[in-house]
Every structure is written in structure tokens, then in C-alpha cells.
Amino acid sequence: MDITELPFNRFLGLELADPDSGFLVSLPAGPQYTNHLGTVHAVALLAVAEAASGEFLIRYFNGIDVYVPVVRRLESKFRKPAHGRISGRVLVTDSVMERAVTELEAKGRALAEVPVEVVDESGVVALTAEIEWFIIKAG
């Protein structure tokens, strides 16, 4: 699965980030992403956070053909105004994903909390979020 090909993400113009950047996904700079203050709109920041966490799961599970993840909860904090290109990175620990895999194997379902930061082109952390995914085995 290519996260950028989901209809909503394609509509937004979501891009995969440069693999060497430490980020997973990005939105380019553009007036279509700004709010009435000229900074990046809150919903654009949230979209990057959600997509980064989804891209993380795709990579972690080497695709998601075996699993079906669905966002259960998203909690965020807007930290500073963002300008220009915004990019998302995941800060999840191995223990969180190991626990999720153990639950998936034992019960066929699991919850995984994926912490994310969204950073603008100048390095400002504009948003922190935790996206909780409900994951079941496909079947």
C-alpha cells in the first residue's frame, strides 16, 4: 500500500518524505494549506500526523495485507505556528510495537499508540500527537 495513493491523501498532495530526512510524509508549502493567519492550517497538521503514523505501520508490518488498522483515537497538542513545508515523524518505542504484535498473535487484535511530531521547514515542532490504532488480522 502507498499511503500517498489514498484518495484523501492524494487530494491533499501528501508526499513521501526523503528517506534520509528522518521523516515519513510531507505536505509541500502552499497557500492552499494556510489559515487566516497565514500559517499552516490545523487540519493540515493533523492530516500529516495521521498519515505519518499510518506510513509507520505500513513499514513496520511490511505492508498491511495481513492486518487492518483503523484510527481509534487521536490526541494532539498544537505547539507553535507552522510555515512552509510540514513533515511528520514517528517517535514510537520498540516495546509498544512488540506488545501490539504479541496481542495480535494471541487475540487477533491490538491497540497501538503511535506518537508523532509534525515539524515545519525551519525545524519548528508545530504539533505533537498520539494516534491510537485498532489493528485486527485481516481475514
| pLDDT tens figures, 120-135 | 999 999 999 999 999 9
Vertex 116 angle, CA 36 and 132, to 5°: 105
Q: What are phi and psi of 58, to 5 degrees?
A: -60, -45
Q: What is the pTM of this model?
A: 0.95
- Return the CATH number of 3-137, one of 3.40.50.880, 2.30.38.10, 3.10.129.10, 3.40.50.720: 3.10.129.10
Which among 131, 61, 136 has a CA at the least distance from the CA of 97?
A: 61
Question: H helices within 1-83, ranges in order?
Answer: 7-12, 42-60
**Percent of the chain scoring above 90 in pLDDT:** 89
Q: Are the CB atoms for 40 and 82 separated by under 8 Å?
A: yes
pLDDT over 80 (residue 64): no
pLDDT band at 139, cuts 50/70/90? confident
Domain locations along the chain: 3-137
Give me the numbers of helices (H) and strands (E) for the chain, helices first please. 3, 6
pLDDT tens digits for range 4-48:
999 999 999 999 999 899 999 999 999 999 999 999 999 999 999
Q: How far is residue 104's CA from residue 106's CA, in Å, rounded to a whole number? A: 6
